[in-house]
């Protein structure tokens, strides 16, 4: 927290006393918990009585796609650690792209692939869900969100089969039938409520028009609006809504919709053949506290626009920055956090650069040839 203290004394000294980048008023919450419970929700007792919608959840973009020594620091990896380690370190939203693979015997398998399964395949959806379920089993006071990009239009039935195979469905939160299950009509429960009912998994799917076969699979863009995600320079970040189309570029409509706000905060690095890879070179600055395009600065900017912090923030290389520092500050979580493990990594930017310009170039060429031949 030292950087926040220095920043508050120096860089933020010029802001008015009404600056939105301040701790939420959690004194009443802390007093209530001090005498009644020792429960710790998402690493802090101060969050237990807060609405799910009134917390900023740190999200790992493309959680399943790892860049580490085992794969030669593959340039297509968005994270340096696996999903279990992400959750251990305080990430509470994990995300992945779901793609269809048709097997030789005519079967259909749902895999986690980065843009295309030719370039990066992290295995089956059910295996990844099993990893998350095992973590939930051993962390009974934590609430986790999953965001699935439904790249090949899996039905609710097909996705539900993956959840069932992972023994995951029983954790799924289902909005009460007595209230609208989307948008402004949905009153989100507190973390305490979700923990008490053991419905500690919230799943959004982009897109899923019909979830009647699995009500715990929520259509993302009926519940969430996002800022733009195709950003290449720090100055590209914007708080303006980009998706869904109904609220695009209209902050008033987005605010009035009652939907939750997901702030995309990661940069791409353009490679040969127009292929984009995560920008590992600038990860520490992108996930940092202050500066043009820094996570902390962008949280402030979006707080100014919407009158509240984003409900979700999605980052690459979550450990860089570290991103959790800005998220803790937005949540009003100060001092020690309970149950969170720190991660240390030697950032291999130089290795990633070398690989992207050599070994991965071969992979890109092969992928382009494959796609052209297959089309």
pLDDT tens-digit profile of 169-215?
999 999 987 665 566 557 899 999 999 999 999 999 999 999 999 99
What are the CB-based long-range contacts (under 8 Å, 24+) for 182-188? 182/218, 182/219, 182/222, 182/223, 183/222, 183/223, 183/257, 183/258, 183/259, 184/256, 184/257, 184/258, 184/259, 185/258, 186/223, 186/258, 187/51, 188/51, 188/52, 188/53, 188/54, 188/260
Q: Please check whether residue 18 lies inside any domain of the structure.
A: no
* Least confident range of 17-31, 90-104, 154-168, 350-364: 17-31
Q: Please check whether residue 5 lies inside any domain of the structure.
A: no
pTM above 0.75, yes or no: yes
CB 166 within 8 A of CB 126: yes
Q: Please check whether residue 15 lies inside any domain of the structure.
A: no
The total of structural domains in the chain comes to 1
Q: Please check whether residue 42 lies inside any domain of the structure.
A: no
Residue 183 neighbours by CB under 8 Å, 6+ apart: 222, 223, 257, 258, 259
Domain limits at 189? 47-374
State the pLDDT confidence band at 342, using cuts at 50, 70 and 90: confident
pLDDT digits (tens, 9 = 90+) for 81-90: 999 999 999 9
Max mean pLDDT range (31-35, 69-73, 101-105, 241-245)? 241-245
User: What pLDDT was estimated at residue 99?
Assistant: 98
CATH number, domain at 368?
3.20.20.190
Residue 25: is its pLDDT beyond 50? no
CB 89 within 8 A of CB 342: yes
Max mean pLDDT range (30-34, 218-222, 357-361)? 218-222
Q: Please check whether residue 41 lies inside any domain of the structure.
A: no
Would you call the peptide bond into 238 cis, given omega within 30 degrees of 0 as the criterion? Answer: no
User: What pLDDT was estimated at residue 353?
Assistant: 44
Q: Please check whether residue 99 lies inside any domain of the structure.
A: yes
State the pLDDT confidence band at 58, using cuts at 50, 70 and 90: very high
């Amino acid at each position: 927290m030292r950087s926040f203290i220095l920043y508050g004394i120096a860089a933020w000294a010029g802001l008015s006393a009404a600056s939105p980048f301040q701790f939420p008023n959690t004194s009443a919450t802390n007093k209530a918990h001090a005498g009644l419970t020792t429960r710790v929700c998402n690493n802090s007792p101060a969050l237990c009585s807060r609405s799910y919608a009134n917390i900023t959840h740190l999200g790992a973009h493309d959680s399943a796609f790892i860049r580490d020594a085992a794969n030669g620091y593959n340039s297509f990896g968005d994270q340096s650690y696996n999903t279990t380690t992400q959750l251990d370190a305080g990430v509470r939203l994990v995300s992945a792209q779901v793609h269809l693979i048709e097997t030789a015997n005519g079967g259909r398998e749902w895999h986690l692939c980065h843009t295309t399964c030719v370039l990066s395949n992290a295995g089956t959806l059910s295996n990844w869900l099993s990893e998350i379920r095992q973590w939930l089993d051993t962390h009974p006071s934590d609430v986790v969100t999953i965001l699935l990009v439904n790249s090949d239009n899996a039905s609710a039935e097909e996705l539900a089969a993956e959840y069932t195979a992972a023994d995951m469905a029983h954790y799924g939160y289902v909005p009460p039938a007595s209230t609208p299950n989307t948008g402004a009509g949905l009153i989100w429960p507190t973390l305490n409520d979700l923990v008490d009912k053991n419905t500690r998994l919230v799943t959004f799917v982009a897109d899923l028009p019909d979830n009647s076969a699995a009500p715990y699979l929520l259509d993302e863009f009926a519940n969430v609006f996002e800022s733009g995600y195709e950003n290449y320079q720090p100055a590209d970040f914007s708080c303006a809504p980009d998706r869904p189309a109904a609220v695009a570029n209209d902050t008033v409509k987005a605010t009035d919709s009652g939907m939750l706000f997901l702030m995309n905060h990661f940069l791409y690095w353009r490679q040969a053949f127009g292929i984009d890879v995560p920008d590992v070179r600038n990860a520490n600055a992108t996930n940092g506290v202050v500066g043009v395009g820094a996570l902390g600065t962008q949280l402030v900017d979006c707080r100014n626009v919407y009158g509240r912090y984003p409900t979700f923030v999605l980052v690459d290389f979550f450990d860089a920055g570290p991103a959790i520092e800005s998220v803790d500050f937005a949540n009003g979580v100060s001092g020690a956090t309970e149950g969170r493990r720190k991660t240390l990594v030697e950032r291999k930017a130089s290795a990633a650069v070398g690989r992207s310009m050599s070994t991965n170039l071969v992979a890109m060429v092969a992928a382009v040839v494959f796609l052209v031949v297959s089309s």
